[in-house]
Amino acid sequence: MTEPKINALVSPEGSLEILSAHEVNRLKDRSEGGLYRLFRQCALAVLNTGVESDDCKSLMEAHADFDVRLVPQPRGLKLELINAPGHAFVDGELLRAMREHLFSVLRDIVYTHSIPQTIAGFRGDNPEDITNLVFHILRNARVLEPGRQPDMVVCWGGHSIGQEEYQYSKEVGHQLGLRNLSIITGCGPGAMKGPMKGATIGHAKQRVRNGRYVGITEPAIIGAEAPNPIVNELVIMPDIEKRLEAFVRCGHGVIVFPGGVGTAEEILYLLGILLHPDNADLPFPVVFTGTRENAEYFDMIDKFIRNALGDEAAKKYQIIIDDPVKVAQVMRTGIKDVETFRRAMQDAYYFNWMLKIDPVFQMPFEPNHEKMLALQLHRDQPVHMIAANLRKAFSGIVAGNVKESGIKQVQEKGPFEIAGDPTLIKPLEAMLEQFVAQNRMKLPGSSAYRPSYRIVSSAA
């Protein structure tokens, strides 16, 4: 049965109700420098909330006749949706959550592209300016709550997981909710949805009425990982680097569930930052966790980290297998330590200003075949640089797997090639093979995975 498509006029829901003439013109601009294409892509993604697909290209092709238009009103604006997916509506009315997300998209796209023009001397390659931009976007989205005690747990993990892993992530979220902790994820399905769904039950039992389920994404990936239905605060950062910085600046601890290359990218980003000498005494609880069947997975991850970054990196996290209660207890205790430290240092609870992030982790990496082959994957460099370059390798594979621009490059020129020191490359290749074997590269039920990468001759 063919899904119906609906035309609707949608009123604002809480995020952005008025626009300047300049902003309206940029959103209508269909040229390369305009914002129309970006806005349409993100709007279509949020209208597919709850639809599990990791193929951005197929999503766009399936809804090629979808359009979104700005309709000026005497007291603000409305959005006209044309040929919108029918599952986004109930009895002809757009679901409220999707309406909120739709205007969150509008808010963040407009703000992200206007704020650099309003800040005197803003430079996109200046680390302090980048951090301030992340702060301003989060503040504008009302993610930063100054009167709230630390309670934000970042949950990372794969969108492509089985039912048992999903249920485990849900039970961890339940235990976090029972301890009045809120959740931040990448907002997609799988291990991003499970903790949020579990936390809603824990919060309900504890009568927590202000539980937060924050989803942080970016334009290049939102089409492949549309927001899950639990997200009640959606933020769209300009790129993956600012998305990752947003996680560690406003989160108070991190839990990592099993995942694929995207999760590996997040782990390397986090460890590369925590290994910086300036962060040596900064408390930040990190737990890797999964079911009993996941023990070998985390043993593989642990060995890869120790080989690439050394045993010192392994001191930055705990591995807890098949024990959701202990995970939540360790996280609650760790966040209490964060609170004590921030109070002593007079640092904000809502934004981790003291965290030192090396510029190499902030500069956007836009993968192509030349950049991927030129990655410095060798040991003759500081350990945080090894982490940074491995992070870029995983980022490129993610792009080739699910991002429209990366998929197009791989289709036109073949897989990205990766080379380097055999002591780094061979374990990397082995881990990637395990990700493929465990179906962590594509959603269950989707077509067979075709690698977006190829390991080529290693440096001697």
Helix (H, G, I), strand (E, B) or coil at 256: strand
Domains of the chain, each with CATH number or no CATH: 5-118 (3.30.1850.10), 125-460 (3.40.50.450)
Contact between 264 and 297 under an 8 Å Cβ cutoff? The reply is no
Greatest CA separation for the chain: 68
- Of 289, 184, 199, 309, nearest to 243 by C-alpha is 184
Contact between 328 and 181 under an 8 Å Cβ cutoff? The reply is yes
For residues 273 and 91, give the distance between their C-alpha atoms in angstroms, rounded to a whole number. Answer: 49
Please, what is the end-to-end C-alpha distance for the chain in angstroms? 57
What is the predicted pLDDT for the residue at 17? 62
Amino acid at 409: Q
What is the predicted pLDDT for the residue at 31? 82
Q: Is the dihedral of CA 246, 218, 98, 2 positive or negative?
A: negative
As a residue count, the chain comes to: 460
For residues 409 and 129, give the distance between their C-alpha atoms in angstroms, rounded to a whole number. Answer: 31
The pTM of this model reads: 0.91
What is the predicted pLDDT for the residue at 459? 47
Distance set, CA 43 to CA 48, 50, 63, 254, 373 (Å): 9, 14, 12, 29, 34
Mean pLDDT by 10 residues, the chain (460 residues): 82 68 82 84 85 61 85 77 90 89 89 76 83 93 93 93 94 98 93 96 96 93 82 94 96 96 94 93 96 94 95 96 98 98 95 95 93 94 92 92 87 93 92 88 67 75
What phi-psi label fits residue 304: left (phi over 0), alpha (psi between -120 and 50 degrees) or beta? alpha
